[in-house]
Amino acid sequence: MADRDRDELGKARNLRPRDELGRPLPYGAEGVPRIPDDLILPPAETLTYAQDLLDRGLAFNAHEVLEAAWKNAPEAERRMWQALAQFAVGITHIQRGNPAGAVTVLRRATGGLEQTAVSDAHGVDADGLIRHGRGLIEDLLQGNDIADERLRPALRPNSTA
């Protein structure tokens, strides 16, 4: 078995380059820029960065940005950030052609946004994202094609390009 990439504390990590959908590429291949493992941004910058990535079709990278916020957020906000990260993962599954996985994760994301007490923190459009996610789920269950524009949801009102 090959040795895994590990950080200075021995925690496993994967330094392989990834494509625009987050799939690992062979070592030495040209991939999209990685999101640093230790990313810490203020909430407004996190949302702006994640929105830019979503708008460019890089939902996997947006998920990594939102996941970093989730891991670093105050306890009261963690469920919201987790749901946003899951929303981006759901979109990644759509982009990768995995409708069943997308439905599962989008249901978790919309449920998380419904359950969190601070779903509108930092200007997050929780209600709009819940509606958007439910629409994606319905179309996936019916086998409908989903246009690329619908894979770029607005995290905050009027935040898409």
Domain definitions of the chain by residue range: 43-151
Amino acid in position 141: L
Query: What pLDDT was estimated at residue 19?
Result: 83
Element (H, E) at 126: helix 126-142
Q: Would you give per-residue pLDDT tens digits along the chain (161 residues)? A: 455 566 566 655 567 889 888 889 888 888 888 888 789 999 999 999 999 999 999 999 999 999 999 999 999 999 999 999 999 999 999 999 999 999 999 999 999 999 986 767 899 999 999 999 999 999 999 999 999 999 999 999 976 54
- For residue 138, what pLDDT is reported? 98
Q: Does domain 43-151 fall into CATH 1.10.3450.10?
A: yes
- Cα(48)–Cα(4) distance, rounded to whole angstroms? 33
State how far the Cα of 55 lies from the Cα of 103, in Å rounded to an integer.
Answer: 21
pLDDT recorded at residue 28: 86
**Distance in Å from the first CA to the final CA of the chain:** 45
What pLDDT score was predicted for residue 131?
97
| Cα 31 to Cα 49: distance, rounded to the nearest angstrom | 19
- The pLDDT value recorded for residue 125 is 94
Q: What is the pTM of this model?
A: 0.86
pLDDT of residue 1: 44
Residues 6+ apart with CB under 8 A from 156: 47, 51, 122, 123, 124, 125
Cα separation, 87 vs 73, in Å, equals 17
Dist. CA 118–CA 8, nearest whole Å: 35
